[in-house]
Amino acid sequence: MKRLLSSTFAAAGLCAALAAQGCGSDAGGGTTAAADTATTTDAAVGVGDAAPKPDTSTADTGPAGADAAPDVAPADVKQPCGGACKPTEMCDAATDKCVEKPKTNCEPACKPGAEYCDFAAKPPVCKAQTCKFQDKWGPDIQGASKLQVAAKTIGCDLDGDSLPNNALATALSAFMGQINGSLDKGIKDGSFSIDLETAAFKADGSEFAMNLVVGDLDPSNATCDISSGAKCKYTVSPNSYDVKATAAVCPALINFPNCKIKDGKLSGGGKNQLFLFTLPIPNLSLVLKISQATIQGDVTATKGWDSTKKGLICGVLGKQDIVDAINAIPDEQIAKFGIGDKKTIIGMVTGLLKSDIDGDGDGVKESASVALEWESVPVEILGMTPPPK
């Protein structure tokens, strides 16, 4: 199993998460708000807040491969700090003494809706949330009934050569079954959900703004399978919004402000647009930005938004963003994979991904293209997801 997870991690570590509570800016929304937020990410969860979360246990993490070691070390092998550290402590290699583990979250937990955790502070502290969450959504709300990493022959023409670009799929070709299988399972069981909502839907070619938010399947329809076409009911995770914003209403972290539907074709996004995406990986949440993001699809609309087929979300991944994302993962999570340190993992991941796009316009191809397929059907949003009891 560890070998399987190691291989999956090495390839799948290229995908990302919807920025979570603690990520934000003072911008009030739209493309700029999303961009400012993403560049100040302090912590993140997945698009689909119920996707597998990092293991945040405070138990001591052993060396790589420790889970296969005997429970009791031979007597002649010296234990770090004599094996005397408490679960809340770690061994300082320089002094061989037990020291308190640094806090990686706010303790005690922040008050939901009134405070947010500032992860940039050392240690993290709760700060007052001044913006309020939405209390109305729609009326046109779509839920993603399909979300997949597109095959390498499918993508958007990002370099003007009239051919699809999708370097991510090429890098992940050996693992596409595992990756898309996990995404498909998450869509079907409701643990991985993206809802697209707008109060100004238009199908006449006029512009309208659209938010992408994390949906949590409401307990009233806990077994609803959106992939079957059912109109499932969701609540919205607070992690969908920029809780640091000074605006009256917290803006969505992912917002396409310039969507158009002309002759049934949806288009939106562009050079300054960011999209943050997560791939479910056990015990890990890797945060990565997809920049220059565009969204498109074939929309069926009668009195409102009926469905979307042949959808694509395209963009580019900067290799430095990958490096930053891996460096942001807590060391104890890295150790649990047993495949080396962060430097080793960075080398593996960046080695898999071919740079095929000049993202910054300097004449050098430093970024990798991405293409995700999606479809959607109507859903209902009932309100905000309540805090856990």
Q: Which residue has the higher pLDDT, 5 or 153?
A: 153
pLDDT of amino acid 283: 55
Sorted by where each begins, the domain ranges of the chain are 2-56+139-384
Closest CA to 288 of 341, 327, 243, 238: 327
Is residue 319 pLDDT above 50, yes or no?
A: yes
**Strand, helix or coil for residue 205:** coil
C-alpha–C-alpha distance, residues 82 and 91, integer Å:
9
Average pLDDT, the chain: 79
C-alpha–C-alpha distance, residues 169 and 204, integer Å:
34
Pinpoint the alpha helices (H) of the chain.
Answer: 2-12, 30-38, 167-171, 176-189, 319-327, 331-337, 342-352
Is residue 81 pLDDT above 80, yes or no?
A: yes
Is residue 331 pLDDT above 90, yes or no?
A: no
pLDDT of amino acid 77: 56
Do residues 105 and 117 lie in contact, with contact meaning Cβ atoms separated by under 8 Å?
A: yes
With a CB cutoff of 8 Å and minimum separation 6, the contacts of 352 are 10, 11, 14, 171, 172
pLDDT > 70 fraction of the chain, expressed in percent and rounded: 77
Q: The tokens 């009195």 sit on which residue?
A: 303
Query: pLDDT per residue over 351-370, tens digit each?
Result: 888 999 998 889 999 999 99
Q: Which residue has the higher pLDDT, 371 or 1?
A: 371
Confidence of residue 375 (pLDDT cuts 50, 70, 90): very high
Range among 46-60, 111-125, 318-332 with highest mean pLDDT value: 111-125
pLDDT of amino acid 200: 93
C-alpha–C-alpha distance, residues 14 and 326, integer Å:
9
Is residue 39 pLDDT above 50, yes or no?
A: no
pLDDT of amino acid 345: 84
Q: Which residue has the higher pLDDT, 387 or 380?
A: 380
Closest CA to 126 of 102, 101, 108, 139: 108
pLDDT of amino acid 76: 55
Look up residue 25 and give its two tokens. 């800016």
Query: pLDDT per residue over 243-252, tens digit each?
Result: 999 999 999 9
Confidence of residue 284 (pLDDT cuts 50, 70, 90): low
Q: Which residue has the higher pLDDT, 342 or 103?
A: 342
Do residues 21 and 117 lie in contact, with contact meaning Cβ atoms separated by under 8 Å?
A: yes
Confidence of residue 286 (pLDDT cuts 50, 70, 90): low
Is residue 292 pLDDT above 80, yes or no?
A: yes
Q: Which residue has the higher pLDDT, 77 or 24?
A: 77
**SS3 for 296-310, per residue?**
EEEEEECCCEEEEEE
Polymer length of the chain? 389
pLDDT > 90 fraction of the chain, expressed in percent and rounded: 50
pLDDT of amino acid 279: 59
Is residue 254 pLDDT above 90, yes or no?
A: yes
Confidence of residue 217 (pLDDT cuts 50, 70, 90): very high
With a CB cutoff of 8 Å and minimum separation 6, the contacts of 283 are 52, 54, 55, 333, 336
Do residues 47 and 17 lie in contact, with contact meaning Cβ atoms separated by under 8 Å?
A: yes
Query: pLDDT per residue over 48-70, tens digit each?
Result: 333 333 333 333 333 333 344 44
**Strand, helix or coil for residue 118:** strand
Q: The tokens 């059912």 sit on which residue?
A: 230
Q: What is the mean pLDDT of residues 371-379?
A: 97
Is residue 209 pLDDT above 50, yes or no?
A: yes
Enter the DSSP assignment of 68: G
Is residue 27 pLDDT above 70, yes or no?
A: no
Do residues 325 and 287 lie in contact, with contact meaning Cβ atoms separated by under 8 Å?
A: yes
pLDDT of amino acid 96: 85
Beta strands in the chain (DSSP E): 89-92, 97-100, 115-118, 125-128, 140-149, 194-198, 208-217, 233-236, 254-262, 265-269, 274-276, 289-301, 305-318, 367-378, 380-384
Q: Which residue has the higher pLDDT, 105 or 60?
A: 105
pLDDT of amino acid 388: 80
Is residue 380 pLDDT above 60, yes or no?
A: yes
Q: Which residue has the higher pLDDT, 68 or 281?
A: 281
Is the pTM here over 0.85, yes or no?
no
pLDDT of amino acid 53: 36
Is residue 190 pLDDT above 50, yes or no?
A: yes
Question: Phi, psi (5° rounding) for residue 99?
Answer: -130, 160
Query: pLDDT per residue over 153-189, tens digit each?
Result: 999 999 999 999 999 999 888 888 888 998 899 999 9
With a CB cutoff of 8 Å and minimum separation 6, the contacts of 54 are 283, 284, 285, 329, 330, 333
With a CB cutoff of 8 Å and minimum separation 6, the contacts of 221 are 232, 233
